[in-house]
Amino acid sequence: MSKQNRAYKFRLYPTKEQEELINKTIGSARFIYNQMLADKIKHYSETGSKLNNTPAQYKSQYEWLKEVDSLALANAQMNLQTAYNNFFRDKKIGFPKFKAKRKSKLSYTTNNQNGTIDIVDSKYIKLPKLKEVRCKIHRQIPDTHIIKSATISKTGSGKYFISILTEYEKEDVIANLDKNKALGLDYSSPSFYVDSQGIEADYPRFYRNAQTALAKEQRKLSHMQYKSKNYLKQKIKVAKLHEHLANQRLDWIHKLTNELSNQWDYICVEDINMKSMAQSLKLGKSTNDNGFGMFRTILQYKMNDLGKQLVKIDKWFPSSKTCRYCGYVNSELTLSDRTWICECGEIIDRDINAAINIRNVGLAA
């Protein structure tokens, strides 16, 4: 037996008052994060030492903080503390950034304490301070799952969602794994990935069409007068397209991961931090947005459930630059080189070569 986590996401339909309180809580979590960060920075510049402040210290000065779920504030504090500790471990990282109103994610997280978060009558979710909020529960959470926490979020088009994190004991599946059923995946920006058989996982056409439509509407938005009536209307249109695209992508990822986890016993991928990769490759938004990180997370739990293995290999392994036949490392290889000829005489196709190397290294590990 081992402990596992699972997330369940549902649409929320709050009343006007609940909506106001949710917005207020989201704002308060951001406020306390920024306020505590400002004081930490000030304290550090004056003394050079760590300041361990808590949300409770701010409640007499900012009375309205008492009206919102205190666990939302505690979670904001915890997130800040993690980022702050990183700074003390390595000063080069710099202080955590302030959360700007327009750029930061509109959400807050709260925890379940003896049933403060619960599903009622299969159509409401009980939440601290909010009481029962209407919810579309399209997937049952099994009785064996314990609710740990919930994140309430608001999208750009004004919809509300809840993501419930559960914990459960899982019987360890002992599967007879076959090393011949091993697949390597090499992340690749335009086509998602190339596998060790040379097959590309390409986004379906409808997804690409939606992407083009979104880009067009976004261009329109950028030419409108900021905050004008038309601008605000267009902004919601863009947000809706965004959400539609994200849903389509998630459906596609679910289908893809079902197929992969059924067909393969081992799947090997690189352990890449998507953010640092986007920055280092200067590919900009598309890398962060195309969902490869989410794909890996979903694939991981599906493989786990079947007793199979997702193997993550060291991100520093030069999978593209290493010849899979002789092991020679071509350090001259650049991103634009799609094929190269190795010293051993083999012609190397960059992507397949990388995927096969990832598979071999993963299997050896």
**Chain positions contacting Zn ion, by CB under 5 A:** 323, 325-326, 328, 342, 344
Closest approach, Cβ 197 to Zn ion, in A, equals 20
Given the complex with Zn ion, which of 335 and 344 has the nearer CB atom?
344
Check: CB of residue 195 under 8 Å from CB of residue 181.
Answer: no
Active-site residue among 270, 314, 346, 349?
Answer: 270
Whether residue 305 lies in the annotated active site: no
Concatenated DSSP letters of 332-363: T--TT--EEE-TTS-EEEHHHHHHHHHHHHHH
Closest approach of Cβ 329 to Zn ion, in Å?
10
Q: C-alpha dihedral over 306, 311, 312, 316, to 10 degrees?
A: -170
Residue 349 appears among annotated catalytic residues: no
Nearer to Zn ion, 98 or 328 (CB): 328
Considering beta carbons, is residue 274 or 342 the nearer one to Zn ion? 342
Looking at the DSSP bridge assignments, the partners of residue 165 are: 7, 149
C-alpha 122/C-alpha 345 separation (Å) is 64
Nearest residue to 317 via CA among 345, 259, 358, 364: 358
Nearer to Zn ion, 40 or 359 (CB): 359
Angle at 244 between CA 242 and CA 247, to 5 degrees: 110
> Nearest distance from residue 364's CB to Zn ion, in Å?
18
- Annotation marks residue 351 as catalytic: yes
Among candidates 213, 212, 297, 300, which has minimal Cα distance to 250? 297
The partner residues of 149 in beta bridges, in order of sequence, read: 111, 165
Q: Which residues are catalytic?
A: 186, 270, 351
